[in-house]
Each structure stands twice: as structure tokens, then as C-alpha cells.
Structure 1
Amino acid sequence: MKATKLLEYKLKGERNISSKNPILDGDHLYCLFTYNKNYFESRIICLTKNSFEVVWEYKYPFIMNNLIIHNKILFACTMDGVLLELDAINGKLLSSNELNIDRCGRTSEIYNDLIAVGGIQGTKETTCFSLSDKKIKWTKENNGHSSIPLIIQNSVLQCAEHQITCFDLDSGKQVWNSKEKRGYVRNPIYFKSSIVVGGKGHINFYNLKNGKLEGQYSEQNMGSISRIIAHKDCLYFGDSIGNFYGTKIFEKKNVFGKIKYSAKKLWEYNSSGTIESLPVLNESKVLFINDDNKLICLDRFTGELVWLFNTKAEAGVSGLVLDKENVFVSVAKGHVYKIKLN
């Protein structure tokens, strides 16, 4: 089936444009682009979702990593260690908070007015910041280049290179640390009662309380896995060689109550470009973008192609968001699309 494009926006006048995951809130779509003007500059563009009219723009003279919206405040984390707070309605800067990290990665989602961020490019720290107090709650050393932290059940989970570390949310004290010999682990998620991370050709399941490995899933010739989503007993994810998987996860407890996980591949879809972005689900579909300039919609039960759309540019670490009827996607070269979902 052919995808139906409803709207398109193009950021013009800049070069080497990359995109980060857009955010949809009410009638507004927030898109984040970084580009090269002999120095790095980033721009947030607020569009109306119904017409793609530009409501406001905000520029920052370096790289912004990601956006989060909470109570009509837009939070933007910058690579040079600043957490910006903007009025989501008019784009006015409300506050600028120093995180005291030389090089920041992407932040966690907001949890009880707290946010976590890890260092990258040689900065080996994880910081927990209080949004209500506007101050750093704690900063602790981690093990290197960090991925997106996860805050869950009074814990901060941080993957950094070959290790995952659990910090106590209140004190920052290390609760446990687990090492993976096969390569980097990235971007933890919470699944059932455990922590799941992507790795180099595999997925690991860790006990949230003690960090013990509770299972590992891999397939022959599977690439590195960056982003995973969960729904009931299933996990969905893509890899660095362009394959996308639907898997069913089985949980088994022994007589001592210890959990072991195993997995069965339900289906596999082969695309032609690296998949680093976060997929999204609706009731019957799973959607993702890749570096082969494609937005791909699959039946989430069978893995069969429903439709695809040429995005004219690579996905990178950008992503997509849904409302009930439409898909909104932002990719490199400054393209933003509104696609009919059904």
C-alpha cells in the first residue's frame, strides 16, 4: 500500500543538517535540528500539527541532544552541559541550568521532577538534576561514553561502553555494576520486573535489584541494537545492519523464585539501512525509520510490510511520533513529514 503524505516542512538555508526525535504535544510539533555554520548551531522549531505553520523558533550556539516536554515546559539538554527550560507555547527561555558536565549525552525521561544525564566523549560522569530545586542532586563517576539513562523504582540505570551501572536515585550510591564482554550495551528499558539493554548482536536481561544476568537473546548475523520497545510479552527492535525483529519473551521462575528469560523470534523484516532510532507502536502496527531514507510501517503481529515512505534523508538518531490518525517524522536535511497512518 502506498503511504499518503499530508504535509512536508523543509528547513532551508543551512548545511549538514541532522535531526533529533520530534515531540508532539497537543496541537504543536517540536522538531530539533543541528547544522554546521563553521560552528555547530541547533534550532528548535515549533510547528502546528494541522498545517505545519511555524509558531516559533529557538536557536542555541552548539549541539542540542534531545527534547522533553512536561507541564507545557520544553526541556532541551545541550552537549556543553546546559539544561534549558523554554515556554512550550511561545518559545521564551525560562531558565538555563548548568549540569557541570563538560560533554552531555541525551537525558532520561522526567521522573518525580528528576532527570538524569550521562557524559560522552571522554566525560565519565552521570548527574541527577532536580527540576523543582533547580540544582544538581548528585554526580557520580561512570565508566565512559554513556547512552540514555533510565530512572525507575528509585534507581538510575546507566549504560556506559561495556558496562551497566545502577545508582540509588536519592544518594547516587552505586548499587550494582555488570560488565558485558561482547561489546557496548545501550539504552536500558524496564520490562516486566527486569532491565533490558541492547548489545552487539544480542539483548541482555538484568535483575533490577542486583544486576544478575537473567537471560540473553541473539540471532545469527544480528547487528548492534540501539533502541528497544516493549509491549506485553513482546520486544521490537532494529539493528545496525537494517534488520527489524518482533520477538516473544518467555519468563520462567525456579523453585527459589529466580527468573530466567528466553525469547523466540516471531518475525524478521530486512531493510537496507542502519536502524538507530526508537520505533513506535499502535494497536496493530510497528513503525521505524532507517538510514536508507525510509519510513517503514509493518504489521506488528506478522512483520509484513503495510506501507513505506521515502523520507529523502537518513534517520540517524531521530524518530517519529503518532497521534490517532497520523505519523510525524523528522529526518536529516531538515525534512519533517506528516503521513496518514491508515
Structure 2
Amino acid sequence: MKYLFSFFYISLFLLGARSALYAQQLARTADRQNVVSGSKITNKLQLKWKVQTGGLLYGSPIVYEDQVFIGSCDSTLYALDKHNGSIIWRYKTGGEVRSTVAIDQQMLFFLSSDGIFYALDVHSGTLLWTFETQGERLYDTWDYFQSSPAVEAGTVFFGSGDHHVYALDAKSGKLIWKFKTGGIVHAAPTVTAKEVMVASFDGYFYCLEKNGDLRWKFKTIGEHYFPKGEIQFHAVAADSSVYFGSRDFNMYALKIKDGSGHWVYHQPGSWTSVPSLAGKKLIVTMSDSYSVLVLDPVYGGKIVEPAVPLNVFSSASISDSVAYFGALDGTLYQLDLLKGEIFPVFQLDLSKKNSAYFFDEEGRLKSDLQDRYGHDIHKLFRGYLEMGSIFSTVWIDDATLYFGAADGAIYALQ
């Protein structure tokens, strides 16, 4: 009997410590599949808590043990109690924080617009070490994110506005290697057992060996207005394939081994944003087509393409047969993967207040928007922020959804 009790308590300990045993990062894992099973999310989500920061939020929250971590454009990284939103600690940097943290072995890693990569103690926010890059920079109006690190087997990987991909020793911050691309690297690296895969604004997708050597690189096709075929978002890897989108209106599926092609899916008139993977369905958020693609990952055929009101620039977070994502209209949506239908599940107060300025009574963008913004597309997209646009990838933690928004607030829904 005593052995039975011992086994019982050991099992409880292991379950409680599980989050401490595995690294947590953007899209949950280093391969960026962004899927979790067994969550208990209700169909009628309500606001559990909301915490206001001093700047816009582009990065995504990460939940680790009982804390939520997210950076803000007020140059601060926040650690919050996941149950009530109370601030446990905060860390001030010298620039906006648009990078999503990665956490492993009680250490937290992120990049700031000051060009410095930080490692903090996850519980106290104490600085452990820093690494200085050659500086950050923005590519254009739609370059919303900085590279979010991937951490795997004691090494942390990230990209930089200085055109490099870096690999650092997670414990000391010592440079292991760096690899130079031809452009800004704001995509998060996608890491597997043997490869580090990352894209650049130069229009190339790079597959590197774990020692930093180039295995292969793939050039996107390019498009009339975006001839480089810039790649700004992370890829997702599964089995022997890697999937990523580009500003050239294409979604690519390549073989990880040698970079040869599986398929290319063309989306007329729209960037393909961020992929995530749910078994036999590849979910791809989209920009100007105002839709979400669900593709067959093997052959690239379209399964369904439900509509959304506005651009989506985050990964769809998948829980069993349901996916969650936010859009520039300040609304959180649910995609039923079985029915292929999308439903709004939560609208920000700022969106409720200002959406009528952008949408007519039937939910379509008003025809005179371009005239009102002087046909300046940059001003228009800055205007969308007045609805509290959601750029965060949602973090699913059992029965709760966490995300940040352009209204500067961090949200927990249950």
C-alpha cells in the first residue's frame, strides 16, 4: 500500500511540474504547430480580467506555471498572476518589446527594439545576462513583430533587424554562432531535432544545421508589388515538411531534407500570414483576402475558406477541433474546424466604440474609407488600430484564453 501512495504523490508532483519541464514559446513549441488538446473552454466566453499597459501590444502572451508574460510598446515586459492579472514584476528595457518570450529552465528570453536580447529569472525578473545585436529596425508599416526566440536543448535562437540569425548558450548568453541573411529577420525561428529554419525579408527561407551551417535556402517567387516575396512570419514544421507564407500571395510546402517542393498554394491578392497545424488540416491566417484558409497539408488543396471582416496577422491557436484568433477589427474569433465556420466570441470595448467608423451595418468595410484617409494605405492601417486590433497569438491554458491588443491591454477570457 505504501508503494501505491508513493506512486500517487509522485504522479501529482510530475503533473504539477509539467510546465516547468517543457519550454514554452510562441505557438507553444519550437516547431510552431500551435495545438493543444483537452482544454475546457466554454462556448460563452466572459472577461475574467483585464490589465492595462502603457503601450500597444503586438507580441503574444506566454503562460508558464502560474504567470503570464507579455511585452508592451511601453518598453516593459510584464509578469502577471494568471488567475487575477495582478502584476508580479515588470522589467523596463530601452525600446518597444514586440517579441514574444520563450521560457525554459526557469529562464525567460526576449528581444527588445533597443537591439538587446535579454535573459531574466522567470520568478523575480532579475537580469541574468544580455546580448547586444547590431541594432533593430522596422521594414515598413506592416512589420509589426520582432523575432520571437525559440529555445531547444540549452540553445536559444532568434533573428534580428541586423539581418542575422543568432544562436546563444541559454545559460550564459555566449554567442555560439550567427548566420547572415540578405534582409531583416523578424520571423521566429522554427526548430526541429536537427534543423533551425527561419525566413527573412530578403524573400529567402533558410534551413540551417544546428551548428549554423546552411543546408539549403529557398527563394520565393515574388509578386508585382512585392518582387522580393518578403517573408515576415514564422513557419510550422511537421514530420518531414515545413510550411510558410509570403507577401507574394503564396503558401509554400517544402521538404525539410533538401528544400525541394511539395506544393505551392496561390491566394490572389493577399499575403498569406501565419500557418498552424491540426492533424490533417493546415490553418493559414490571411491578410487582404479577409479570410482564413484551411488546406490539406499533403497536397495543398483548399478544404474551406471562411470569411473574416479584416486582416489577421497572428497564428490560429488550436484546441482539439476549434481554433481561436484575433483580427484588426478588435474582435476575437472562433473557427470550428469540423464545420468550417467562423464566429465572433469577444469584442473589445474600443472595437464596439469605433467599428462603425470602418464598417457598414452589414459588416462590410465602408466604400469611402480610402477617400477619408486620402488614399494613404499607411494611414488607413494606423486608423484600424483605433479598434484595438488584436495581433497577439492567443495562449490557451485549460479553460482560459489570454491575448494582448493594440488598446494596450492584456486580456484573460473564461
Does TM-score exceed 0.5, indicating one fold? yes
Distance 2:217 2:263 in 1: 16
Going from structure 1 to structure 2, the CA distance change for 1:143 and 1:316 (only over 3 Å counts) comes to: farther
Alpha-carbon deviations, 1:159-214, whole Å to 9, x = none?
A: 112111222211x2222121112222342221231111112322111121211122
> 1:305 is matched with which residue: 342, 352, 355?
342
* Alpha-carbon distance, 1:18 to partner: 3.0
Going from structure 1 to structure 2, the CA distance change for 1:132 and 1:44 (only over 3 Å counts) comes to: closer
Going from structure 1 to structure 2, the CA distance change for 1:6 and 1:133 (only over 3 Å counts) comes to: closer
Q: Is the deviation greater in 310-319 or in 56-65?
A: 310-319
After TM superposition, list the pairs within 5 Å mapping 1:1-342 onto structure 2. 3-11=45-53, 14=54, 17-35=56-74, 42-64=75-97, 65-98=99-132, 100-103=133-136, 105-120=146-161, 123-146=162-185, 147-161=187-201, 162-170=203-211, 172-182=212-222, 183-185=229-231, 186-199=233-246, 200-221=248-269, 223-241=270-288, 242-250=290-298, 262-311=299-348, 312=350, 313-315=387-389, 317-340=391-414
* Alpha-carbon distance, 1:307 to partner: 4.2
Q: Would the aligned equivalents of 1:154 and 1:168 in 2 still touch at CA under 8 Å?
A: yes
* Seq. identity, %: 18
Distance 2:180 2:147 in 1: 17
* Alpha-carbon distance, 1:101 to partner: 3.1
Q: Would the aligned equivalents of 1:48 and 1:55 in 2 still touch at CA under 8 Å?
A: yes
Q: Is the deviation greater in 320-329 or in 58-67?
A: 58-67
Distance 1:68 1:5 in 2: 26
**One-letter amino acid of the structure 2 residue matched with residue 235 of structure 1:** L
Unaligned residue ranges in structure 1 (runs of 5+)? 36-41, 251-261
Distance 1:274 1:306 in 2: 15
* Alpha-carbon distance, 1:316 to partner: 5.3
Alpha-carbon deviations, 1:219-278, whole Å to 9, x = none?
A: 444x2122110121211121112311222223xxxxxxxxxxx12322222112211112
Please list every run of at least 4 consecutive aligned residues from structure 1 whose deviation after the TM superposition is greater than 4 angstroms. Answer: none
Larger helix share, 1 or 2: 2
Q: Would the aligned equivalents of 1:319 and 1:331 in 2 still touch at CA under 8 Å?
A: no
Q: TM-score if structure 2 supplies the norm length?
A: 0.71
Distance 1:87 1:334 in 2: 24
Q: TM-score if structure 1 supplies the norm length?
A: 0.85
**One-letter amino acid of the structure 1 residue matched with residue 91 of structure 2:** Y
Q: Would the aligned equivalents of 2:235 and 2:245 in 1 still touch at CA under 8 Å?
A: yes
* Alpha-carbon distance, 1:140 to partner: 2.1
Partner secondary structure for residue 20 of structure 1: coil
Going from structure 1 to structure 2, the CA distance change for 1:101 and 1:66 (only over 3 Å counts) comes to: farther
Going from structure 1 to structure 2, the CA distance change for 1:159 and 1:9 (only over 3 Å counts) comes to: same
Q: Is the deviation greater in 145-154 or in 158-167?
A: 145-154
Q: Would the aligned equivalents of 2:276 and 2:317 in 1 still touch at CA under 8 Å?
A: yes
**One-letter amino acid of the structure 2 residue matched with residue 190 of structure 1:** A
**One-letter amino acid of the structure 2 residue matched with residue 213 of structure 1:** G
Q: CA RMSD in A?
A: 2.0
* Alpha-carbon distance, 1:77 to partner: 1.5
**One-letter amino acid of the structure 2 residue matched with residue 61 of structure 1:** G
